[in-house]
Amino acid sequence: MKFFADTAEIADIKDLAAIGLLDGVTTNPSLIAKSGRDFKEVTKEICGIVNGPVSAEVVALDYDGMMREAAILRKIADNVCIKVPMTLDGLKACKALTGDGSMVNVTLCFSANQALLAAKAGATFVSPFVGRHDDNGFDGMELIADIRLIYDNYDFRTEILVASVRHGIHVLNAARIGADVMTAPPAVIKGLVKHVLTDKGIEGFLADWAKTGQTI
């Protein structure tokens, strides 16, 4: 499963890339606003750090507006992935953009039927939001399993990009189901390395090593 970082913070992206844990980045208007930087400037910098897709989201809601904004975003870097909303106009833009060779991420997916539409429109990625789905009384992972089954039934190439990931259990279950990608805040990704028994093991080894009085 590929790991994308859901952030616009350059320092965090550089840290994860240096560790070798980063296959791409997803951004959205909220994350860009939080960074306090110019949208195109920060997107270009991110694209220079990672080789994989960097999702940059349109804010227009009509087809013509989406296409105008997408034309600007595509010029930023070759690895920009245009993010469009799960609407009829968004799907129309997805079809046009992927037909012209652009990567497209259809976002804000909350049902398997929506994911089916995204695949029919030729989306590169579809982003089901598992955390928000859970918040509203549904099972986010059941949604991922349904999408995986449908895509496998018809051999769709659209990759399932699990979004709104809140914790390690989301990551684990997404990997068990067979999601192609997960995107999460840097803190969630870094937190995957933590385990109480790992910490205790390191403490024990260091204590025993100290008793030897040796150095390496």
Tokens found for residue 140: 């986010």
Cβ pair 149, 170 in contact under 8 A? no
Q: What is the C-alpha to C-alpha distance for residues 184 and 168, in angstroms, rounded to an integer?
A: 10
Residue 49: half-sphere exposure toward Cβ, Cα within 13 Å: 27
Residues annotated as part of the active site: 83
Q: What is the C-alpha to C-alpha distance for residues 133 and 77, in angstroms, rounded to an integer?
A: 32
Q: What is the C-alpha to C-alpha distance for residues 30 and 40, in angstroms, rounded to an integer?
A: 14
Q: What is the C-alpha to C-alpha distance for residues 45 and 39, in angstroms, rounded to an integer?
A: 10
